[in-house]
Amino acid sequence: MYLCYVDESGTSDLPGNSSHFVLAGISIPIWNWKSCDQEIDRIKRKYDLCDSEIHIAWILRPYLEQTKIDDFVGLNYDQRRSKVEAYRKSEIFRLQRSNNPKLLKQTKKNYLKTDSYVHLAYNERRNFIIEVATAISKWRDARLFAECVDKVFFDPSKASKTIDEQAFEQLVSRFEQFLQLIGTDGSHRKGLIIHDHNQTVSKKLTDMMKRFHQTGTLWTSIDNIIETPLFVDSQLTSMVQIADVCAYALRRYLENGEEELFDLIFSRADRKDGKVVGVRHFTNLSCSCKICRSHRKSS
């Protein structure tokens, strides 16, 4: 049996504040689950992030207050944390007096979301993510599936579905086709989708999956994926955080040309006869990004 952990990056709103919406799933066989989970835990422990969620977009932000603390990198983790916390407290007091409720609210949110990572300088946070992505790149049996929608080319008047519905249908279809293909030896490989819990989409995705079980997707019948997606809290489940890393790496490559994380993650894209079949960039036909090139490539 195979588990496929799914998460998204960017917003599916039009136009929204990102040019791309990415839905990514990373599939691993259950017999590899323990070693993968333990490996991520080991990397987290090294950076004193044992009980912290890997929420990559927050981890890789610049934390301005770190630059304002003298010799930040020369301090130990406890000292760094204490200095940042003191700075943040004074900043909150300052904003409370400044009569700017919007900025105060945003600042409080930023502080809350980054609280677990403030003992790490930017380079260390970056190294942490690269170590995680390198570990994923070496999971030989892991497969990456993703739909990366360039929203400029998504025409809601022509499409019969929303961006997130199209992405989910594509992801389910590719995971199903992967299971069908590896099960041709008669072993009937089964798969289960585990999704980051998201109040706004869980009902919709559950209904869609029920429909796929009855009538198939546009591309395939569903014979190997079982159940509707299981929704888990990404704060508590390390492996769904890995899907967040994958989705982020794909989106940042397509939006900003950032290759380092992308190359590591993309090495796990599902391929057939040398051609990438697991990851699609939904965009104009002339796109020459690595995803589009490898989609067209034959061995």
**149 is a site residue for Zn ion (CB under 5 A):** no
| In the complex, minimum distance from the CB of residue 282 to Zn ion, in angstroms, rounded to a whole number | 9
Shorter beta-carbon distance to Zn ion: residue 195 or 281: 281
Q: How far apart are the first and last CA of the chain?
A: 29
Shorter beta-carbon distance to Zn ion: residue 203 or 285: 285
| In the complex, minimum distance from the CB of residue 289 to Zn ion, in angstroms, rounded to a whole number | 3
**174 is a site residue for Zn ion (CB under 5 A):** no
Shorter beta-carbon distance to Zn ion: residue 224 or 283: 283
Shorter beta-carbon distance to Zn ion: residue 264 or 279: 279
| In the complex, minimum distance from the CB of residue 215 to Zn ion, in angstroms, rounded to a whole number | 31
Shorter beta-carbon distance to Zn ion: residue 268 or 281: 281
| Binding-residue pattern over the window 231 to 270 for Zn ion, x denoting contact by CB under 5 A | ----------------------------------------
**281 is a site residue for Zn ion (CB under 5 A):** yes
CA–CA gap between residue 161 and residue 248 (Å, rounded): 23
230-232/191-196 β-pairing: parallel
Shorter beta-carbon distance to Zn ion: residue 3 or 292: 292
Q: Which of 69, 239, 277, 289 binds Zn ion (CB under 5 A)?
A: 289
Cβ atoms of 216 and 114 closer than 8 Å: no
**148 is a site residue for Zn ion (CB under 5 A):** no
Stretch that binds Zn ion, among 4-12, 152-160, 172-180, 291-299 (CB under 5 A): 291-299
Stretch that binds Zn ion, among 14-22, 215-223, 245-253, 284-292 (CB under 5 A): 284-292
Residues 6+ away with beta carbon under 8 Å from 35: none
Shorter beta-carbon distance to Zn ion: residue 125 or 174: 174
Stretch that binds Zn ion, among 8-16, 19-27, 51-59, 290-298 (CB under 5 A): 290-298
Shorter beta-carbon distance to Zn ion: residue 83 or 281: 281
The first and second tokens of residue 266, run together, are 């993309």
Stretch that binds Zn ion, among 60-68, 75-83, 256-264, 281-289 (CB under 5 A): 281-289
Q: How many Å separate Cα 279 from the centre of its chain? A: 13
CA–CA gap between residue 178 and residue 189 (Å, rounded): 9
Stretch that binds Zn ion, among 63-71, 77-85, 178-186, 276-284 (CB under 5 A): 276-284
Encode burial over 128-138: b for 16+ CB neighbours within 10 A, e otherwise.
Answer: bbebbbebbbe
Q: Which of 1, 60, 75, 287 binds Zn ion (CB under 5 A)?
A: 287
**132 is a site residue for Zn ion (CB under 5 A):** no
Interface residue list for Zn ion (CB under 5 A): 281, 287, 289, 291-292
